[in-house]
Structure 1
Amino acid sequence: MINLTDSAVNAIKSAISSSERRAGGLRVMIEAGGCNGFKYKMGIADEPKPDDTVIDCDGLKVFVDSKSREHLAGTTIDFVLAPESSGFTFHNPNAATNCSCGKSFG
């Protein structure tokens, strides 16, 4: 389904541990929009919704809704530290096109 690199898992666990919100896991989804038709969204979530698929990535629960599931199948999420910009990157084998920003696909 979705894979997270060790770097991504560590960055997310760090964000969850410093958050004041109750966190049951990470929600990963897509929405219409962005430069190429869809954009990635991630955020800390309290708990899974009834139609979510729950994936365990090294003790981190990842929640994926049914609408996003097929678009995200096989996607690898990484966290990259770089002098110019740091952040999450998505390698999605289902994307026919990707925006140079790395946050949207078509």
Structure 2
Amino acid sequence: MAISITPAAAERVKSFLVSRGKGLGLRLGLRTSGCSGMAYVLEFVDDLNDDDELYDVDGVKIIIDAKSLVYLQGIELDFVKEGLNEGFQFNNPNAKGECGCGESFTV
């Protein structure tokens, strides 16, 4: 499973976990949403579910559920600052298209 995380994203996740004071890692998943069909989900994880896969990527524990795993193979998680805006960016080689607002994608 090739999941990568940039140094900027790794540092941001680590700082969030330290600020939060607890947490096993970061869940990267999908939900049905938007005009293109799927949207990314990021959330902190305190306990694993039965169908979770755990990956240690550059010192960050990434948790992905089995249902999302097939759509996230090869993904790169980045953290980008552009002017006053900042946030996580998903570079997913499986995405075939995105909606105009960038909130959802299709495979």
TM-score after normalising by structure 2: 0.90
Residue 8, structure 1, aligned to residue 18, structure 2: no
1:85 shift after superposition:
1.5
Change (3 A) 1:24 1:8: same
Aligned pair in 2 of structure 1 residues 90, 16: CA closer, same or farther (>3 Å)?
same
Letter paired with 2:41? K
Question: Identical aligned pairs, as a percentage?
Answer: 38
Q: Which runs of 4+ in 1 moved over 6 A?
A: none
Which moves more between the two structures, 52-61 or 10-19? Answer: 52-61
Per the TM alignment, residue 66 of structure 1 is displaced from its structure 2 partner at its CA by 0.4
Give unpaired runs (5+ residues) of structure 1: none
Return the structure number with greater strand share.
Answer: 2
* Conservation of the 8 A alpha-carbon contact between 1:26 and 1:43: yes
Distance 1:17 1:29, change over 3 A: same
TM-score by length of 1: 0.91
- 3-state SS of paired residue (1:56): strand
Is the CA contact (8 Å cut-off) linking 1:36 and 1:105 kept in structure 2? yes
Aligned pair count reads: 105
Q: Secondary structure at the match of 1:7?
A: helix
SS at match of 2:98: coil
Gaps of 5+ in 2: none
